[in-house]
Amino acid sequence: MSLKVTPRENNFGAEITGIKLCEPLGGSLAKKLKEAWYQHQVLYFPNQNIDHNHLESFTEAIGPYGIEPYVKTLDDHPHIIEVRRDPHEKIAPFGGSWHSDWSFQEQPPSATILHAKVVPPIGGDTHFADGIRAYEELDEALRAEIDEMEAIHSARRPYSHEGYKLGGDRTSMTVLPSDDAYATQKHPIVRTHPESKRKTLWINPVYTLAIDGLSDSASKSLLSKLFEHLLQDEFILKLKWARDMLTMWDNRSVLHCAQGGYEGHLRLMHRTTVAGSKPF
């Protein structure tokens, strides 16, 4: 195998070819992939015809599994979530708002890995936002203002009993709402990536409730300003899926949003996460 890394614009995202994920990753190859991942944040591997066991082996080569709350995993593969939307469903796609996976956890996952099994003929893309470049291009005074601030994260909006009812009836996936979703966790607004050491703007509209220490109005105003900056087109990678494509992204610096536009068609993927560390 001859690993080839083809970067996208601004080095945000890269296509990985010359590798078969149905074969075990050796230590040196896993190291090269991680280095590419730290640099480009989103890696996608086309034409990877793999099963659940291969997906698990690849995940384990990247790191230990993350904890999957609020969504039922596969009975025989407890670290895999089936991300499915059936043709008849009218509800918004799972993950259809900008977020970083499980940012409400004390130690949110470092990576999310998603493998496409059935891709609709239209729509169904995933968009990614580059928190590192967004931070670097913030006004210097605003960077100084937020560098030491913390934000309050919670799962209450999508996964509390009340929040889940507002989201509508999802039949193709089993969501497990809980009162545990009301718990909160403080994390820095500006996070330092533990490997690349680069700073990233680390907030998201789904799980970030408020900025600690600010009034409600001041918090909403500043978050709105930061979200508007972070989600500008210049920081967005728009990924079009193909059958058997596997994508891995870095939750420590990247937001993502699943797109719709494929009503009447099945979309089926399988997902794992890799454990992370406490943000700093």
Q: Tens digits of per-residue pLDDT, 145-157?
A: 999 999 999 999 9
pLDDT mean across residues, the chain: 96
Contacts of 38 (CB under 8 A, 6+ apart): 193, 195, 196, 250
Q: Is the pLDDT of residue 131 over 90?
A: yes
Q: Is residue 237 a contact partner of residue 42, using CB atoms and an 8 Å limit?
A: yes
Among 233, 246, 252, residue whose Cα is nearest residue 272: 246
Whole-angstrom Cα distance, residue 57 to residue 270? 14
**Which pLDDT score is estimated for 167?**
66
83-112: average pLDDT = 96
Q: Is residue 81 a contact partner of residue 114, using CB atoms and an 8 Å limit?
A: no
- For the stretch 166-218, pLDDT in tens is 766 788 999 999 999 999 999 999 999 999 999 999 999 999 999 999 999 99
Can you give the length of the chain in residues?
280
Going by pLDDT thresholds of 50, 70 and 90, the confidence category of residue 1 is: low
Whole-angstrom Cα distance, residue 47 to residue 95? 24
| CA 150 and chain centroid, separation | 20
Instruction: Report in angstroms the alpha-carbon separations of 70 from 148, 156, 208.
Output: 31, 11, 17
- For the stretch 238-254, pLDDT in tens is 999 999 999 999 999 99
One DSSP character per residue, 12-51 reads --EEEES--TTSPPPHHHHHHHHHHHHHHSEEEE-S----
**Which pLDDT score is estimated for 170?**
84
**Which pLDDT score is estimated for 169?**
77
**Which pLDDT score is estimated for 165?**
79
- In the sheet that holds 184-188, the strands lie side by side as 184-188, 150-154, 208-211
**Which pLDDT score is estimated for 83?**
98
Among 70, 123, 54, residue whose Cα is nearest residue 266: 123
% of the chain with per-residue pLDDT over 70:
99
- For the stretch 31-65, pLDDT in tens is 999 999 999 999 999 999 999 999 999 999 999 99
Going by pLDDT thresholds of 50, 70 and 90, the confidence category of residue 26 is: confident
The residue type found at 153 is: H
The first and second tokens of residue 237, run together, are 């990678």
Location of structure tokens 């399988």:
270
Among 243, 240, 239, residue whose Cα is nearest residue 270: 243
Task: Give 163's DSSP letter.
Answer: H
Whole-angstrom Cα distance, residue 125 to residue 140? 33
Q: Which CATH architecture has domain 4-274?
A: 4-Layer Sandwich (3.60)
The burial of 169, by beta-carbon neighbours within 10 Å (0-12 exposed, 13-18 middle, 19 or more buried), is given as exposed
One DSSP character per residue, 78-105 reads TT-EEEEE-TT--SPPTT-S-B-TTTTS
